[in-house]
Amino acid sequence: MTDDLEDAFRTANRLRIAAFLSGCDEAEFRAVQDYCDLSPSNLSKNIAALEELDYVAVRKGHVGKTPRTWLALTAKGRKALAAHLAALQNIAATAARHA
Where exactly are the structural domains of the chain? 2-92
For residues 30-40, average pLDDT = 97
- Domain 2-92 carries which CATH code? 1.10.10.10
For residues 11-39, average pLDDT = 97
Sheet with 56-63: strands ordered across: 27-28, 66-73, 56-63
pTM of the model: 0.90
- Asked whether the predicted pLDDT for residue 1 surpasses 60, the reply is no
The contacts of residue 49 (CB under 8 Å, 6+ apart) are 8, 14
Place 2 in a pLDDT band, splitting at 50, 70 and 90.
Answer: low
- Asked whether the predicted pLDDT for residue 3 surpasses 90, the reply is no
